[in-house]
């Protein structure tokens, strides 16, 4: 599992400003990968869909961090699989961007909408393409991701992969008819 950049983690931790202390504990536990604490909080009635002031939920943070067991637990606990943060990002987009295939699979199997767009028009497949996560791109393609969907800048996943020198991803996208 790839770890997030230290600056990203600092930004996320500093954004944890939540109404209830147990909600903040849930967010911190999801970020740190503490499943035991999340189970205890859930048993005590914590709001599974609590968010930071930036709209990041426990599911988004666990997905971004690749904590697949926590993602499974949160999904079974009825976490909103398609919730968006303040930038329009979803848990699926976060997992795809970081290349966490197991998490991506769990989210899609739990009803994550594959073609949702962020506020800048990026989708999970576009974010995976630009980061070079071929396995994630293939899985999303097999599960009916729109491979020709455009961002606000008019960029398709193929264009994103090409511009970011992700040759394997670009080759795959071309082979399945992406434009």
148-176: string of b/e by CB count within 10 Å (b at 16+)? ebbbeeebbbbbbbbeeebeebbebbeee
What pLDDT is attached to residue 89? 98
Residue 138: is its pLDDT beyond 50?
A: yes
What pLDDT is attached to residue 167? 98
End-to-end Cα distance, the chain: 31
What pLDDT is attached to residue 20? 59
What pLDDT is attached to residue 21? 77
Instruction: Choose the weakest-confidence range: 18-32, 65-79, 141-155.
Output: 18-32
This prediction's pTM: 0.89
Residue 6: is its pLDDT beyond 60?
A: no
CATH architecture of 114-179: Alpha Horseshoe (1.25)
Q: What is the mean pLDDT of residues 57-64?
A: 97
Strand partners, 87: none
> CATH 1.25.40.20: which residues of the chain?
1-91, 114-179
What pLDDT is attached to residue 22? 85
CATH 1.25.40.20 fits 1-91, yes or no: yes
* Other CB atoms within 10 A of residue 109 CB: 11
Q: What is the mean pLDDT of residues 162-172?
A: 98
């Amino acid at each position: 599992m790839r770890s997030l950049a230290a600056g990203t983690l600092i930004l996320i931790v500093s954004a944890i400003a939540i109404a209830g202390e147990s909600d903040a504990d849930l967010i911190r536990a999801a970020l740190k990968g503490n499943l035991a604490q999340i189970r205890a909080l859930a048993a005590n009635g914590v709001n599974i869909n609590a968010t930071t002031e930036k709209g990041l939920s426990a599911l988004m943070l666990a997905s971004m961090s690749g904590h697949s067991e926590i993602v499974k637990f949160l999904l079974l606990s009825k976490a909103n699989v398609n919730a968006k943060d303040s930038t329009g990002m979803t848990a699926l987009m976060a997992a795809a961007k970081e290349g966490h295939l197991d998490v991506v699979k769990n989210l899609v199997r739990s009803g994550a909408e594959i073609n949702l767009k962020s506020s800048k028009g990026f989708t999970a497949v576009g974010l995976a393409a630009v980061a070079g996560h071929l396995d994630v791109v293939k899985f999303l393609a097999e599960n009916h991701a729109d491979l020709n969907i455009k961002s606000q800048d008019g960029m398709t996943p193929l264009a994103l992969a090409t511009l970011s020198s992700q040759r394997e991803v670009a080759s795959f996208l071309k082979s399945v008819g992406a434009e």
